[in-house]
Structure 1
Amino acid sequence: MKREKKLQNYTLKILNQLTHYAEQEDTADIALVVTEILHANHIFLAGAGRSGLAVRGFGNRLLHLGFSVSIVGEISSPHSQPGDLLIICSGSGETTSLKALAQKAAAAKVKIILFSTTKESTIAKLANHTLIIPGKTKTAQDKTTGFTQPMGSVFEQLSFLTFDGIVMNLMDQTGETSVSMFQRHADFE
């Protein structure tokens, strides 16, 4: 019979690891993202896989804040215009479908912000700004904190938290509250 290993509190290890990386985020980069969002005519959001889930959650909160937003690929997404903003979440910055999207956005004179682990990628070269989410991509091993989560978990988790931090900054800038945002929350669920 196989002997079971003692269970660990991985939640605490994950939180400690995320804290380590969150302390490395650049607040000047976050301020730039907040400014771009505040001045965008319309905001498109895109990501793939679990990064796509994180950016979709961000899009939902931007909608609650009163911004005009669309998730790329949804049938209700409008045609892009100069003055619009495309936010892409991609750890590697090399996801094939997102590279093609960034190329199309750049040609349409839509501003691009990339959330990524690197500024050295195809999408980063097309982006007007890249905000670095410290951590490792899904193919790299994390030896920095002495604890390695599977694949791109650190990037995806920290992206979600960074997006929520940006929402909090946008709330400060716009005077929005949970009460005012709730008025824009879906009532057909």
Structure 2
Amino acid sequence: MNTISTVIGEINEVCSQINEMEYSYLVDLLRSKDRFFFSGEGRSGLIAKAVAMRLMHTGKTVFVIGETTTPAIETSDVLIVLSGSGKTSNTLHMLENTLKIGALAFLVTANKEKLKTYKGLFLHAATKDRVLGEPNTIQPLGNQFDQAAHIILDAAIIDSLNNNWSNEILKNKHYNLE
């Protein structure tokens, strides 16, 4: 039980340090845009898929990069990328191409330097690289980043709905062939 309490405390610490302007910008994007593309590598990619699924339940059109049915991104679209390090070559290539196309790129990262180049949300969380300045954690690799990203992005979706939702409304968009 002590480990669970420590992990919860660590995640609370990361979540309480997010920049309000960056978070509000994300909420506004989720409110105002209609088509979203999500990407991330490894566990961050799994979190991106989970968040994409929840956003789809709100009625937005959502795609996950790498799936065979993902269409071309267009200028009115948003790419949301999760990358703790902000250094993954596929991630950087995707962000650059998104900007060249004229679509909006939004990076969720623990690499503050990358937010000088891309719009995004900085999470003061540990990554697999354990770069100087990252917080201490009892958790392995990028767990702290991924867990905090999931909570923060889910919260941003909830905030984007302006209390104009119910479990029943979202459930109606849930997979129903089970």
Letter in 2 for 1:81: E
Rounded Cα–Cα distance in structure 1 between residues aligned with 2:136 and 2:25 = 32
Alpha-carbon shift at residue 43 of structure 1 (Å): 0.5
Which residues of 2 match residues 99-138 of structure 1 at below 5 A? 99-121=92-114, 124=115, 126-127=117-118, 129-138=119-128
Q: CA, structure 1 residues 11+141, in 2 after alignment: closer, same or farther (shift >3 Å)?
A: farther
Q: Does structure 2 retain, via aligned residues, the 8 Å contact 1:112–1:126? A: no
Which residues of 2 match residues 1-189 of structure 1 at below 5 A? 9-121=2-114, 124=115, 126-127=117-118, 129-140=119-130, 147-172=137-162, 175-189=164-178
Q: CA, structure 1 residues 52+184, in 2 after alignment: closer, same or farther (shift >3 Å)?
A: same
Q: Deviations over 1:145-180 (max 9, x none)?
A: 76431111110110111111112102326x122110
Say which SS state the counterpart of residue 120 (structure 1) adopts: helix
Q: CA, structure 1 residues 144+98, in 2 after alignment: closer, same or farther (shift >3 Å)?
A: closer
Letter in 1 for 2:91: L
Alpha-carbon shift at residue 25 of structure 1 (Å): 1.1
Query: Unaligned regions of 5+ residues in structure 2, if any?
Result: none
Q: Which residue matches 1:3?
A: none
Q: Deviations over 1:6-42 (max 9, x none)?
A: xx63111100111112111122211110111222241
Q: CA, structure 1 residues 9+100, in 2 after alignment: closer, same or farther (shift >3 Å)?
A: same
Give the 4+ runs in structure 1 shifted more than 3 A.
141-147
Say which SS state the counterpart of residue 172 (structure 1) adopts: coil
Who wins on radius of gyration, i.e. which is larger? 1
Q: Deviations over 1:63-114 (max 9, x none)?
A: 0000011001111112111110000000111111111111111110010110
Alpha-carbon shift at residue 115 of structure 1 (Å): 0.3
Query: Unaligned regions of 5+ residues in structure 1, if any?
Result: 1-7
Q: Deviations over 1:102-139 (max 9, x none)?
A: 11111100101100012313xx4552x12011212211
Instruction: Work out the percentage of aligned pairs sharing the same amino acid.
Output: 23
Query: What TM-score do you get using the length of structure 1 for normalisation?
Result: 0.87
Query: What TM-score do you get using the length of structure 2 for normalisation?
Result: 0.92
Instruction: Give the superposed CA RMSD.
Output: 2.0
